[in-house]
Structure 1
């Protein structure tokens, strides 16, 4: 039934999703020109709130749980598992007060309405995976912006999406680079469940009636500990609440 209804409702979802990207592209431009960073960010936040609402067109439920009392005057590194592209809009919308940035493939920074504009001007890092020097340089710049502005970052340390929801090993990579630049950063694991089911049949049809959840877990202080040890703790925390 999930697949059958998906054939009916997926076109509606894609049409609305695409229209939102087209509509908000000039809105972002205006927000940036008239209001600078703050104006642009408000537009991006609003866009992603609307994008999350398109999930409901697929009969899906979105539950975002954050019971943690996280600081607003300190950079945070949200370490999350990655199951689909649909992980991202809820993270931007529900974590908007933390100014969470992303590390993205440089290819995404052009050609996609709204998304590319935000990646280019939103303050994140756009990296070329084939150019290690460029990638490290961009992540270092992101770390500096985090430190200067108390911004946060969302990291997907698996490196790629999990097609079946199973948690992959975490890579240290960019995480260690950011920690060197922002040693006081607070590590906060985020467990994402069932967004992989939304795309289990591929891009078409999307699966109808899935319940996707995002849960912010207890923060982890680095306090001079090895990065590998901190990441293992975050990995174990996420693994404990994933639905297998």
Structure 2
């Protein structure tokens, strides 16, 4: 039934999702051009509010759980599992007070309403996956901006989306590179549940009736821990929530 209703509801979802992108594209440009970074960030936050709650057109529920008082006066590395492209708008909205940035493919900086302009102006890292030197340089620059502005970043240590919801082995390189530039960053695991189910049949039909959840887990103080140890701890805690401990 979820797939059946998806055939009917997916066009409605895509219409409102695309409409949000098109409406906020000139709003972002105007805010940045005339009022600067802070106004641009507010416009991006509210764009992602609408993108997140477009899920209502698929009868998917959205919930965010955070039992921890996370600091806003120091950088944070949010490390999450990755299930679909719909993970990202919700993370931007729910983590908005932490100014969370992303590491994105440089190809996405052109041609996509709202998304491309935000990637160019928002302060994240846009990397060329075929050029390791450029990628590392951009991530280090992001780390410096985090340190200067008390920004945070979201990384997906799996490196790719888990299309079946099963967590892939986490790689420590991203956390290691950022911590070199901003060693005082707090590492916070984020468990994402059920967003893979939306796209289990690809872009069409999207499926309906899922409980999408984003859960903040216990923060990790890097201290004397290695990046490998931190990454393993993040992966283990996320697997516990998803009940995927082997």
Q: What TM-score does the superposition give when structure 2 sets the normalisation length?
A: 0.98
Structure 1 unaligned spans of 5+: none
1:141 aligns with 2:138: no
Q: Residue deviations 1:18-53, cap 9 Å, x none?
A: 011011000000110122110100000000001111
What is the TM-score of this pair, normalised by structure 1?
A: 0.99
* In structure 2, distance between residues paired with 1:20 and 1:180: 37
Does residue 153 of the first structure (1) align with residue 156 of the second (2)? no
Unaligned runs of 5+ residues in structure 2 are: none
Large movers: runs of 4+ above 2 Å: none
The residue aligned with 1:46 is: 46
Distance 1:48 1:2 in 2: 25
Deviation at 1:67, TM superposition (A): 1.1
Deviation at 1:174, TM superposition (A): 2.2
Distance in 1, Cα, partners of 2:28 & 2:13 = 22
Tell me, in whole angstroms, the C-alpha distance in 1 between the residues paired with 2:142 and 2:166: 29
Q: How far apart in 2 are the matches of 1:230 and 1:174?
A: 11
Partner of 1:228: 228
- Give runs of aligned pairs for residues 67-146 of structure 1, distance below 5 A: 67-146=67-146
2:77 match: secondary structure: strand
- Deviation of residue 243 (structure 1)? 5.0
Instruction: Determine the structure 1 residue equivalent to 2:214.
Output: 214
Residues 126-183 of structure 1 show CA distances to partners (whole Å, capped at 9, x for unaligned) of 0000001110110011001000000000000000000111111111122211100101
Residue 74 of structure 1: how far off its partner (Å): 0.5
Task: After TM superposition, give the deviation of residue 89 of structure 1 in Å.
Answer: 0.6
| 1:96 Cα deviation from its structure 2 partner | 0.1
CA distance in 2, matches of 1:13, 1:176: 38
What RMSD over aligned residues (CA atoms) do the two structures have, in Å? Answer: 0.7
Contact persistence 2:102–2:125 (CA under 8 A): yes
Q: Provide the aligned length of Structure 1 versus Structure 2.
A: 244
